[in-house]
A and B are shown apart, each in its own frame.
Chain A
């Protein structure tokens, strides 16, 4: 089922210059504008950004689940060397599961409420491997054991609403890793969960990743989750990538004022009674993204050049880059 053997140097998932247009009430807007990144097996890449920055849209275009109002207008999504954007619907369906899969945020709506979970978990095996119903359900029970659901044989006959939020998320993860994908995309997998449960789910994801040598794309707005969980980070703002690099470097020495602003506004080390260093304003409306730098309206470093020309994503060190005309100034600060 899997495409030709991997070139070890080639990323498992390689997204290049992805553009997504979105039809909205006020006309067509560009929701994702030239986003590129690559993830190798065994690595975790975080797509970090605030609501409306296009991170989820990027993930959905990678797995081909974009809503009809959105349309991929450019770029390439290469999984193991094949550009999935050029594949037919049927060919792409063959990739979903054994090669590429996704874990959604909301486990309750992502599961079918009127089917026992055992049958739902067995479905990938029946579709992609042609297993019999009995054998597929055996596999489902095995998966449920793996993701830590107690009494899996009994619980396989239960329906999604009979599980707690954390358990449902485990089921979704089980479903996503069922066919041993090379690339796993996790779209805010723990946002809806309590802190203590969130930690358990994150641990499960990490264990599965090591065990199966997957490339993981983690989509999140939570800086702390990125800090603890990811190897590389891509910071997105208003549909564009403003900075990327390894988490360690980006978080310790941000080279884009937006990244710096985000890191500063975490109240973790803030002293009570002193104002938090907040980024002023709010992200631009996608229909009114400024023509120069996307961050110009909120940037402390803004000057005339930022209004005139959009800074390209350029290298600012070994394997990291930032889209700012004046990133050197940040470096000095």
Chain B
């Protein structure tokens, strides 16, 4: 049965309301606003932080070794020091740049390559789909860390190589998601409609399939962002990732682990940085998912608590 409650805007009211501006929507959702502020801060710090801290991230001062976070030692003592007396704050700022410059390109590369291949394979089906999926299976069946270790052992462990290896091992994740959704969308009526106009398949993928799959892919990407940062830290820990004196958040966690009992701040604070960044990215991705869907956008104007509850009626009222 097609019984359904029509959405709020009655069809016969004359003025067609334009969708509200996205920044207004963002302002109305406090959590998403905070998330975007955190992300902006992280990006700014990553881009320009090194200009302010100079060489403080490397400057050793053994007298200041393992100072806990306090207000007594100026700005750079705020978050304490590590075993060599280096400022944890300065190192966090320095590491932000390295971490993002590895994680962001790696995630973007795998996102773009994986999604493009997945959408193409899923939309066309048949041999193209099977071949692509088998290749993805092969990549997935190797432990990604093992490939990374082998490749980075053979080639020099440069940032570029880390990015490439991380990107390749994460491609199947996007590929599978994109293929599954695209294969489902292929049989939707509006895709058929586009085919009756003679729209070429790459344009159908671009106009009709991609916009629907993209929010899901972005959500996967934000979760993967976390994974990539942690993999990078494992590689760094094994000595084939980021090479000291460069520093990344993951490397800081790895280095700080042995002091966890005595100086928790060395490992925990970079961990917090990783978590804050990924959680903010996830929150923002969830928000963007709603904001880009005209059928869902109105939900953003409601208090967060009610979104879940009101998600029910439209579909279920019969």
One of A49-57, A136-144, A170-178, A314-322 at the interface: A49-57
Closest partner residue, chain B, to A27 (CB atom):
B8
For the complex, is B298 an interface residue (Cβ under 8 Å from A)? yes
Pair A25/B10 contact, Cβ less than 8 Å: no
For the complex, is B2 an interface residue (Cβ under 8 Å from A)? yes
For the complex, is A42 an interface residue (Cβ under 8 Å from B)? no
Pair B313/A22 contact, Cβ less than 8 Å: yes
Residues of B with C-beta under 8 A to A198: none
One of A33-41, A252-260, A285-293 at the interface: A285-293
Pair B5/A286 contact, Cβ less than 8 Å: yes
A residues 90-105 touching B (CB-CB < 8 Å): 105
Pair A25/B318 contact, Cβ less than 8 Å: no
Closest partner residue, chain A, to B13 (CB atom):
A288
Pair A22/B5 contact, Cβ less than 8 Å: yes
Known: A51-B3, A51-B4, A288-B10. A67 touches B302 (CB 8 A): no
For the complex, is A302 an interface residue (Cβ under 8 Å from B)? no
Known: A22-B313, A24-B313, A67-B317. A56 touches B5 (CB 8 A): no
A29, A51, A68, A70: the one within 8 Å of B2 (CB):
A51
A residues 278-323 touching B (CB-CB < 8 Å): 281-282, 284-288, 297
Pair B1/A57 contact, Cβ less than 8 Å: no
Instruction: Give, as a whole number of angstroms, the nearest-CB distance from B19 to chain A.
Output: 16
Q: Please, what's the 1-or-0 string for A154-195, where 1 marks a CB less than 8 Å from any CB in chain B?
A: 000000000000000000000000000000000010010000
Instruction: Give the docked Cα–Cα distance between A85 and B185 (Å).
Output: 44
Closest partner residue, chain B, to A60 (CB atom):
B318
Closest partner residue, chain A, to B310 (CB atom):
A25
Closest partner residue, chain A, to B298 (CB atom):
A25
Residues of B with C-beta under 8 A to A52: 3-6
Residues of B with C-beta under 8 A to A22: 5, 313, 317
Residues of B with C-beta under 8 A to A25: 7-8, 298-299, 302, 310, 313-314
Closest partner residue, chain A, to B12 (CB atom):
A281
Q: For this complex, into which size category does the number of interface residues on chain B fall? A: 20 to 34
For the complex, is A26 an interface residue (Cβ under 8 Å from B)? yes
A residues 1-46 touching B (CB-CB < 8 Å): 22-26, 29, 31
Instruction: Give, as a whole number of angstroms, the nearest-CB distance from A118 to chain B.
Output: 28
Known: A51-B1, A285-B6, A285-B10. A56 touches B309 (CB 8 A): no
Residues of A with C-beta under 8 A to B3: 51-52, 56
Q: Please, what's the 1-or-0 string for B1-41, where 1 marks a CB less than 8 Å from any CB in chain A?
A: 11111111011100000000000000000000000000000
Closest partner residue, chain B, to A56 (CB atom):
B318
Pair B10/A24 contact, Cβ less than 8 Å: no
Residues of A with C-beta under 8 A to B316: 67, 69
Instruction: Give the docked Cα–Cα distance between A24 and B306 (Å).
Output: 10
B1, B7, B8, B312: the one within 8 Å of A69 (CB):
B312
Instruction: Give, as a whole number of angstroms, the nearest-CB distance from A49 to chain B.
Output: 9
Residues of A with C-beta under 8 A to B4: 51-52
Pair A70/B317 contact, Cβ less than 8 Å: yes
B2, B299, B310: the one within 8 Å of A24 (CB):
B310
Pair A282/B11 contact, Cβ less than 8 Å: yes
B residues 58-100 touching A (CB-CB < 8 Å): none
Instruction: Give the docked Cα–Cα distance between A205 and B277 (Å).
Output: 62
Residues of A with C-beta under 8 A to B299: 25
Closest partner residue, chain A, to B2 (CB atom):
A51
Instruction: Give, as a whole number of angstroms, the nearest-CB distance from B175 to chain A.
Output: 31
Residues of B with C-beta under 8 A to A69: 309, 312-313, 316-317
Closest partner residue, chain A, to B8 (CB atom):
A26
Instruction: Give, as a whole number of angstroms, the nearest-CB distance from A319 to chain B.
Output: 29
Residues of A with C-beta under 8 A to B312: 67-69
Q: Please, what's the 1-or-0 string for B279-313, where 1 marks a CB less than 8 Å from any CB in chain A?
A: 00000000000000000001100100000011011
Instruction: Give the docked Cα–Cα distance between A67 and B314 (Å).
Output: 12
Pair B313/A56 contact, Cβ less than 8 Å: no
Pair B1/A188 contact, Cβ less than 8 Å: yes
Closest partner residue, chain A, to B11 (CB atom):
A282
Question: Closest 3 interchain pairs by CB?
Answer: A26-B8, A51-B3, A285-B10
Q: List 15 A–B pairs whose Cβ atoms lie within 8 Å, in order of A's numbering.
A: A23-B310, A24-B313, A25-B310, A51-B4, A52-B3, A52-B5, A67-B317, A68-B312, A69-B309, A69-B316, A69-B317, A188-B1, A281-B12, A285-B11, A297-B12
19 more CB-based (< 8 A) A-B contacts, given A286-B6, A287-B10: A23-B309, A23-B310, A24-B313, A25-B8, A25-B298, A25-B313, A31-B317, A51-B1, A51-B3, A51-B4, A52-B6, A105-B1, A285-B6, A285-B8, A285-B10, A285-B11, A286-B5, A287-B8, A288-B10
